[in-house]
A and B are shown apart, each in its own frame.
Chain A
Amino acid sequence: MSKVRVLVGTRKGAFVLTSDGKRKQWKVAGPHFAGWEIYHIKGSPADPKRLYASQTSGWFGQQIQRSNDGGKTWEPVGNKFTYDGVTGTHQWYDGTPHPWEFKRVWHLEPSLADPDTVYAGVEDAALFRTTDGGKTWHELAGLRGHGSGSKWQPGAGGMCLHTILQDPKNPKRMFVAISAAGAFRSDDAGKTWKPINRGLRSQQIPDQDAEVGHCVHRLAMHPAHTDVLYMQKHWDVLRSDNAGESWHEVSGNLPSDFGFPIEVHPHEPRTIYVIPIKSDSEHYPPQGKLRVYRSRTGGDKWQALTKGLPQRDCYVNVLRDATSLDSLDPCGVYFGTTGGQVYASANAGDSWTPIVRDLPAVLSVEVQTLK
Chain B
Amino acid sequence: MIRVVLPAHLRTLAKVNGEVNLDVGGPVTQRAVLDALEVRYPVLRGAIRDHVTKERRAFVRFFACEEDLSHELADAPLPDKVVSGAEPFMVVGALAGG
Residues of A with Cβ closer than 8 Å to B? 11, 35-36, 57-63, 76, 79-80, 82
Contacts and interface: CB of A to CB of B under 8 A. Distances in A.
A105 to B, nearest CB: 12
A59 B46 contact: no
Interface stretch (B19-27, B51-59, B80-88): B51-59
B16 interface: no
B9 interface: yes
A61 B47 contact: yes
Contacts of B96: 58-59
The 5 lowest CB-CB distance pairs between A and B, nearest first, are A60-B47, A59-B59, A59-B93, A76-B43, A80-B51
For A36, A58, A80, the residue with the greatest tally of chain B CB atoms inside 10 Å of its CB is A58
Given A80-B51, A82-B51, A59 B9 contact: yes
Contacts of A35: 9
Nearest to A62: B46
B48 interface: yes
Interface string B36-66: 0000000101111001100001011000000
B57 A61 contact: yes
A126 to B, nearest CB: 15
Nearest to A11: B98
B43 A60 contact: no
A57 to B, nearest CB: 7
Interface residues of B, number: 18
B94 interface: yes
Nearest to B94: A59
Nearest to B47: A60
25 contacts: A11-B98, A35-B9, A57-B9, A58-B96, A58-B98, A59-B7, A59-B59, A59-B60, A59-B93, A59-B94, A59-B96, A60-B10, A60-B47, A60-B57, A60-B60, A61-B46, A61-B47, A63-B47, A79-B45, A79-B46, A79-B51, A80-B45, A80-B51, A82-B51, A82-B52
A240 B35 CA distance: 52
Contacts of B52: 82
Given A36-B9, A59-B59, A80-B45, 4 more contacts: A35-B9, A59-B60, A60-B60, A63-B13
Contacts of A60: 9-10, 13, 47-48, 57, 60, 93
For B45, B47, B94, B98, the residue with the greatest tally of chain A CB atoms inside 10 Å of its CB is B47
A79 B13 CA distance: 12
B34 to A, nearest CB: 14
B54 to A, nearest CB: 13
Nearest to A83: B52
A79 B38 CA distance: 13
A271 B30 CA distance: 58
Contacts of B46: 61-62, 79-80
Nearest to B59: A59
A283 B60 CA distance: 33
B79 to A, nearest CB: 25
A76 B9 CA distance: 13
